[in-house]
């Protein structure tokens, strides 16, 4: 019994060490190397759709968008594109008092970056994530996500991780 | 008598697991939407060792259901992630406990890793995009210390339980 415990303890330590090395290197790779290249475009998606509501084209410095389907009792037409403040406003899925709340996304053509500056959710994880130049931004309670692409192909709405 | 004792203990464990789960969702340990490190798994691990895999699975599913009812998130996106993570973790812990190759800490770490994987898989479906995988490295990395911690706590409890149980007969 005591012997068995000892062997298992040793195996546990080996297991943890191996996992730390493998996952540690994957983690370091992802954090420091995977998103180093400049992105050409950032797509903003709503729900499970793979057809972006809006695309921020960093190369040609323009915004392409299509109308977001929202119920009739919401007054504005989404997305709201504000070129002066460089923001795009969408209607998220998170409800406060039964009303869906907006998600405000700010883009920067020069830095090729995107940032979620306003949203309502229990923990505000995606707005706390800050500025991103390649890492996807995901607002789970609002079902809105932003994904980056290194090359822009208009015909093929492909997505990369 | 034994049956009643078991039932009472399981009910107590369920209550502890629910509280752990609620505390865990209130504190933001990781910068990943809807994801948790699975500290409530400590109770599942203990039950698997003290009673059986079946009891552990039953307790885990009840915990996830009750927590989502209590927090009003039933059938929301986060619910599916919690459920998938918890079930996959329990399956993994049950399996690795049965092989008897690793000790409690090892089983706990593996459970923690599978908890993360289960959540991410559900996340892919909830979000509808594999973009969620970008969060996998950081979550896996954090789940190792979390797994070690829960493993040590569970082991401590299990040792006390063994002595206590022998004393009771």
Give the count of domains, chain B: 1
Residue with the larger pLDDT of the pair B24 and B92: B92
Both A90 and A110 in one domain: the answer is yes
Q: Where are the alpha helices (DSSP H) in chain B?
A: 2-26, 41-50, 53-70, 77-99, 104-127, 136-168
Q: Would residue A96 count as lying in a domain?
A: yes
A28/A61 same-domain check: no
Look at residue A98 and tell me whether its pLDDT is greater than 90: no
Q: Are residues A49 and A113 in the same domain?
A: yes
Same domain, A6 and A77: no
Nearest chain B residue to A146 by CA distance is B131
Q: Does the structure's ipTM exceed the value 0.85?
A: no
pLDDT band at B28; cut points 50, 70, 90: low
The pLDDT of residue B164 is 84
Task: Give the pLDDT confidence score for residue A1 in this predicted structure.
Answer: 57
Both A54 and A72 in a single domain? yes
**Residue A38 pLDDT level (bands cut at 50, 70, 90):** confident
Q: Are both A84 and A100 inside the same structural domain?
A: yes
Q: Note whether residue A161 is domain-resident.
A: no
Asked if residue A90 and residue A45 are part of one domain, the reply reads: yes
Residue A75 lies in a domain: yes
Which two three-digit tokens encode residue A127? 């707005």
How far is residue B163's CA from residue A92's CA, in Å, rounded to a whole number? Answer: 54
Judge whether A82 and A106 are in contact, CB under 8 Å.
no
CA dist B77 and A117 (Å) reads 22
Residue A156 lies in a domain: no
Q: How many domains does chain A have?
A: 2
- Please answer yes or no on whether B128 and A48 come within 8 Å at the CB atom: yes
CATH number, domain at A103? 2.60.320
**Domain CATH number, residue B137:** 1.10.1760.20
Asked, for residue A102, whether it belongs to a domain, the answer is: yes
Assess if residue A19 is contained within a domain.
yes
Residues A45 and A26 in one domain: no
From the list B105, B104, B114, B16, the residue with the least C-alpha distance to B62 is: B16
The parent domain of residue B155 ranges over: 2-168
Q: Are A15 and A83 contained in the same domain?
A: no
User: In which band, very low, low, confident or very high, does the pLDDT at B57 lie, cut at 50, 70 and 90?
Assistant: very high
| pLDDT surpasses 70 at B25 | yes
Task: Report residue B65 as tokens.
Answer: 């259901």
Interval B108-116 mean pLDDT:
93
Answer yes or no: do A145 and A82 share one domain: yes
Q: pLDDT band at residue A160, thresholds of 50, 70 and 90? A: very low
Q: Are residues A59 and A138 in the same domain?
A: yes
State residue B141's pLDDT score. 87
Name chain A contacts of B33, Cβ cutoff 8 Å.
Answer: 125-126, 138-141
Q: What is the pLDDT of residues A57-97, one digit of tens each?
A: 998 888 888 888 888 888 788 888 888 889 999 998 888 88
Q: Could you tell me the pLDDT band of residue B77, with boundaries at 50, 70 and 90?
A: confident
Three-state SS for A96-158 is: ECCEEEEEEEEEECCCCEEEEEECCCCCCHHHHCCEECCCCEEECCCCEEEEEECCCCCCCCC
Query: Domain range holding A5?
Result: 1-34
Direct distance between the N- and C-terminal alpha carbons of chain B, in angstroms, rounded to an integer: 12
Mutation site for A-interface testing, chosen from B34, B129, B140 by largest number of A Cβ within 10 Å: B129
Q: What are phi and psi of B27, to 5 degrees?
A: -95, 135
Residues of B in contact with A20 (CB under 8 A): 144
């Amino acid at each position: 019994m005591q012997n068995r415990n000892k062997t298992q303890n040793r195996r546990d330590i080996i297991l943890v060490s191996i996992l730390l090395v493998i996952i540690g290197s994957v983690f370091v790779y992802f954090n420091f190397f995977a998103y180093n290249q400049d992105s050409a475009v950032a797509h903003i998606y709503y729900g499970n759709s793979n057809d972006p509501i809006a695309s921020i084209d960093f190369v040609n410095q323009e915004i392409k968008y299509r109308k977001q389907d929202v119920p009739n009792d919401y007054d504005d037409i989404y997305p709201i594109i504000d070129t002066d403040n460089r923001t795009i406003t969408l209607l998220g899925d998170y409800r406060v008092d039964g009303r869906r709340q907006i998600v405000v996304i700010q883009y920067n053509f020069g830095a090729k970056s995107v940032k979620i500056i306003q949203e309502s959710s229990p923990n505000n994880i995606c707005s706390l994530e800050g500025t991103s130049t390649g890492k996807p931004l995901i607002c789970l309670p609002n079902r809105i996500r932003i994904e980056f692409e290194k090359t822009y192909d208009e015909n093929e709405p492909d997505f990369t991780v | 008598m034994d049956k009643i004792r078991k039932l009472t203990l399981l009910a107590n464990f369920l209550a502890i697991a629910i509280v752990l789960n609620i505390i865990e969702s209130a504190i933001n340990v990781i910068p990943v939407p809807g994801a948790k490190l699975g500290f409530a798994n400590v109770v599942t691990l203990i039950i698997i060792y003290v009673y059986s895999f079946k009891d552990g699975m039953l307790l885990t599913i009840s915990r996830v259901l009750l927590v989502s009812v209590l927090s009003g998130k039933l059938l929301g996106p986060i619910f599916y992630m919690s459920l998938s993570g918890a079930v996959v973790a329990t399956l993994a812990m049950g399996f690795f406990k049965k092989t008897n190759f690793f000790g409690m800490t090892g089983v706990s770490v593996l459970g923690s890793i599978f908890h993360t994987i289960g959540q991410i898989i559900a996340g892919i479906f909830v979000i509808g995009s594999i973009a969620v995988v970008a969060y996998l490295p950081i979550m896996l990395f954090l789940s190792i210390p979390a797994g070690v911690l829960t493993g040590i706590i569970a082991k401590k409890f299990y040792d006390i339980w063994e002595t206590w149980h022998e004393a009771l007969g």
